[in-house]
Amino acid sequence: MTALHLENVCKSFGEVEVLHDINLTVEEGEFVVFVGPSGCGKSTLLRVIAGLEDATSGTVEIAGNVVNTTPPAKRGIAMVFQSYALYPHLSVKDNMALALKQAKEPKTVIEERVTEAARMLSLGDYLDRRPAELSGGQRQRVAIGRAVVRHPKLFLFDEPLSNLDAALRMNTRIEIASLHRTLDTSMVYVTHDQTEAMTLADKIVVLRDGRVEQIGAPMELYNKPANKFVAGFLGAPSMNFVDAKLIGKPGAKTLGIRPEHLNLGEGQLKGTVTHVERLGGDTNLLVKLNDGETITARLFGQRDVAVDAAIALQFDEADAFFFDAEDQAMVA
């Protein structure tokens, strides 16, 4: 059975249409990430799925049932937000138990589920603490625990890691991935961060201005982006775009080349180094080409290259991407 199916979903606020004709399917157990720049409609789409906003038109189907008129609490979903929204006066345990108490679940069931969620999220030692006595990462785990205890058919996450620092973001990301493996429940996860999308998703939905640009597995999108937007959005540092005249492919306007496909050599691209980022494992060079464009080369390892050095970069033409005048990918 499909966990979620959206058909021709549109959403307007007054005159302004922010979601245009969204079609997508989330399979049972799948981890699907909606990714796109800020303001592209990710949260609105998630809220339409949750029932916190009504779709202006189209159908929302969860586990085989059309839920357009079903209230959020009856949709079998649980949502985790960026702001943890924990009750400050309640203990971790009571925060996690609250929704079950409100649903009048038996005490033994509540106890069982809270204990199970606390174990999964390594919160067992903190059950009696209040949110103020926890770190940001622990608070976000409690917010996730509050969703887990409800045994939803579908989890919805809206930028759950945005308030955490970089190291915690990575840890919590790995915890969410492991939670998904353990629970095997469908998840829809919204983020503006392409790294989260690439590392967490079974399937990525790239959104732009309220439209789906492309849907596919992370490496499918990385290796075969449908257009220049998807090509530039996924991957860090992002793909370089230069005038396709450089190679001369009929009909091509833009040549795309990923930073990791560039190497020092007597190559096609000549320019001057304007900046060097030494990351230890990699060295990123910003190079201003002689024809004026600036590109990034990601070189493996530590390189002895100085700012202002004149260099040449080369790439294998088999690694190049081509885009036409409408920014659509041209298949070789």
Figure out which of the listed residues 1, 15, 38, 250 binds ligand ADP, where binding follows CB under 6 A. 38
13 near ligand ADP, rule: CB under 6 A? yes
Nearer Cβ to ligand ADP (97/188)? 188
Candidates 34-42, 76-84, 263-271, 305-313: pick the segment binding ligand ADP (CB under 6 A). Answer: 34-42
40 near ligand ADP, rule: CB under 6 A? yes
Nearer Cβ to ligand ADP (41/51)? 41
Binding site for Mg ion (CB under 5 A): 43
66 torsion bin: left (phi>0), alpha (psi -120 to 50), beta (else)? beta
Please count the CA atoms within 13 angstroms of the CA of 86 that sit on its side-chain side.
Answer: 29
Amino acid at position 12, single letter = S
Nearer Cβ to Mg ion (43/185)? 43
Question: d(Cα 61, Cα 2) in Å, to the nearest integer?
Answer: 9
Whether residue 237 has a cis bond before it, omega within 30° of 0: yes
Minimum distance, C-beta of residue 200 to ligand ADP, in the bound complex (Å): 17
273 near ligand ADP, rule: CB under 6 A? no
43 near ligand ADP, rule: CB under 6 A? yes
Minimum distance, C-beta of residue 206 to ligand ADP, in the bound complex (Å): 12
Phi, psi for 136 (deg, rounded to 5): -55, -40
185 binds, among ligand ADP, Mg ion, none (CB under 5 to 8 A by kind): none
Radius of gyration of the chain (CA): 23
Please count the CA atoms within 13 angstroms of the CA of 238 that sit on its side-chain side.
Answer: 13
41 near ligand ADP, rule: CB under 6 A? yes
Phi, psi for 169 (deg, rounded to 5): -60, -45
